Amino acid sequence: MASKSAAEYYSNLREMSTIRAIAETLVNNDKVRKVTLAELYDIAKKQPGVSETDMLMYPDYVKKHGLPEGAKVLNDCHGKIVGRTAKARRFYNRLNESQKAKVEGDFREAVYQMQQYPLIKAEAILGLDSDLMIKAVFVAPETDASNMYNWLLNFAPYEQYAEQYEKSAPLPILDIILIAFNEWTCEDPFYNNVGAPQLALVDEVHNVNICLGMRYFGERKKNTLTLAWTSGMKLGMAACHAGIKEIDFTTCEEKEWQKLGKRAIAFYGLSGTGKSSHTNNADNGGTLPKGFSKVVLHDDAFQIDLENKVCRVWEPTLFDKTDSREVGHPDWKYCLSLMNHMQLKIDNKNWPVGLDVRNSNGRALLDRDLLGVHVNRCTFPKALIWLMKDSVLPPVIKVTDKYLAIALGAALMTQRNRAENVTEDELKKLVFEPFANPFRVYELHKDVEAFLKVVDSGAEIYSFNSKGYWRESDEILEKIPLQTSLTLQTAILTDQLEWEEWKNVPGTMIPTKASVDKLIANYYDKYNPYTRENSDDYYGTLSDRFQQRVNFLRESDVKDKPELLSKLVNSMIVTH
């Protein structure tokens, strides 16, 4: 078997956390009824707040998982809150002893309240590669059947992969437990409160997550995935909230491309930076050579196995926003489930509508078949791309100093905008999300060390600017079309670019005029960093943004590793 039960994992049961012990007791209560995906479908469609649409579930999935023929897509509307609530998170292992005792008592009380309801549980497999599979169990009242159903859709029902799991590699990792209780009541101001209390409690040491007073499915998905990423990190792998694809050039028509073999490329970026656009594009805007083959691992989550130099996937489905998918969009063919969608009668059928008309953050669970050919493991990445909306960075830079390369990932940034109604000073402040992963629950220096190993193992690091490049000011920009970025992606994969030093940021390079203008007419002159207008302002802003990155890292827990911190901050130099 892959992960271990508590009885197998603990040589001394006193080492188990109180939170895990409470959760284990609930999981193993014989009054908690185990349910299958098909049973959950039947329970969920009768649940208040859930609508059965006339959209057919993706038939291939229905057949594979034994759901009723003609099963329909269910739409679950969660109420006021339609997104994750970061303020509700509490990290058990960061609490002091008094706070731990308080949370433990409140969790026991919550479990007592839960047991006044009929309880159900489901088991899933996280990870579809035989060398990285973790068992997870989810317990909740029947009133949360829709979220449990979606949880099994998002991951993989245990029954479907039991044989593969039993034969998979044994791992020194605990099974994961998720407990959810929407009807929780507690008036303590220690918890986030929006008219009702909320708690997302994380015990990453003992692989337990608790969701109390929170209906939104994304809390269950990301809390579970958080523990999967952390488990992979404990095994020495790099956790990636990113997309990755592998291009096979050996099938190309021309022999000059065939020698490139298979090459993988990964994209790390916050919402709106182009992560999915780069990962999922069929042929990089027509720039890939004829005859190539492509497989996608995932567009959101994977793990880099540094020892074996491969990448491994966690999920068989996609949890996508649907604000850009109209009625009749071809992606709906792959739909499994919906959350927070408007419904209309169209041609006398009950049809869900995306476009965020009813509320923001409408979501769909979609089968990974949407991505075309997909795999559960792929080759070690040739390149990692940091996607950043930073107007002072050229469209692409290659980062040759490894400490600068990882510093830019550890201080991956975005900017506020005027739509957020903030002051001019606030507009100048960067917002940082290291490695584009808001779900990291361990120290940042562990990610820094893991990604340094990725570079040492042969990966190249690049940064793409997906905002627009300074023309006259931070607001008057030279546009960077997606087609330009896709062309640059292909050029990186195929070694078509030659590079010259970007003297303003030692340790970085920009494409040479001769190599890049062959691919994109007039690129070099349009994006030449030495010809920006109002150059004093430009260099002042460039320097300020790198200093903000330095300040962020100095204030992070990387300071607990002073030698490592010194190497990172000393790499971030701007000259003029």
DSSP for 69-83, please give it.
TTPEEEEE---S--S
Q: What is the pLDDT of residues 400-451, one digit of tens each?
A: 999 999 999 999 998 766 545 557 777 778 999 999 999 999 999 999 999 9
DSSP 435: G
What pLDDT does 429 receive?
85
Q: What are the helix (H) ranges across 65-184?
A: 97-114, 145-154, 158-166
Q: What are the helix (H) ranges across 115-216?
A: 145-154, 158-166
What pLDDT does 414 receive?
84
**DSSP 3-state of 158:** helix
What pLDDT does 184 receive?
97
For the record, the structure tokens of 124 come out as: 């899933």
Helices 444-456 and 402-410: angle between axes, nearest 10 degrees: 140
Residue bearing tokens 């491309």: 257
The domain spans of the chain are 6-235, 242-299+380-571
Q: What CATH code would you report for 242-299+380-571?
A: 3.90.228.20
What pLDDT does 145 receive?
98
Distances (CA, A) of 523 to 299, 367, 478, 514, 526: 29, 38, 11, 10, 5
Q: What CATH code would you report for 6-235?
A: 3.40.449
What pLDDT does 522 receive?
98
Residue 331 contacts residue 370 (beta carbons within 8 Å)? yes
Looking at this protein, which amino acid is placed at residue 510?
I
Query: Which distant-in-sequence residues (6+ apart) come within 8 Å of 30 by Cβ?
Result: none
**DSSP 3-state of 56:** strand
Residue 206 contacts residue 3 (beta carbons within 8 Å)? no
Query: Helix count (H) and strand count (E) of the chain?
Result: 18, 32
Residue 74 contacts residue 53 (beta carbons within 8 Å)? yes
What pLDDT does 415 receive?
75
Gap between the Cα atoms of 493 and 514, Å rounded = 18
What pLDDT does 424 receive?
72
What pLDDT does 416 receive?
66
What pLDDT does 456 receive?
98
Gap between the Cα atoms of 498 and 196, Å rounded = 58
For the record, the structure tokens of 121 come out as: 């549980």
**DSSP 3-state of 438:** coil
Count of CA atoms in the C-beta half-sphere (13 A) of 98: 1
Q: Do domains 6-235 and 242-299+380-571 have the same CATH topology?
A: no
Gap between the Cα atoms of 461 and 382, Å rounded = 9
For the record, the structure tokens of 157 come out as: 């029902």
Which of 521, 452, 514, 509 minimizes the C-alpha distance to 481? 521
What pLDDT does 426 receive?
72
Which residue ranges in the chain fall short of pLDDT 50?
A: 419
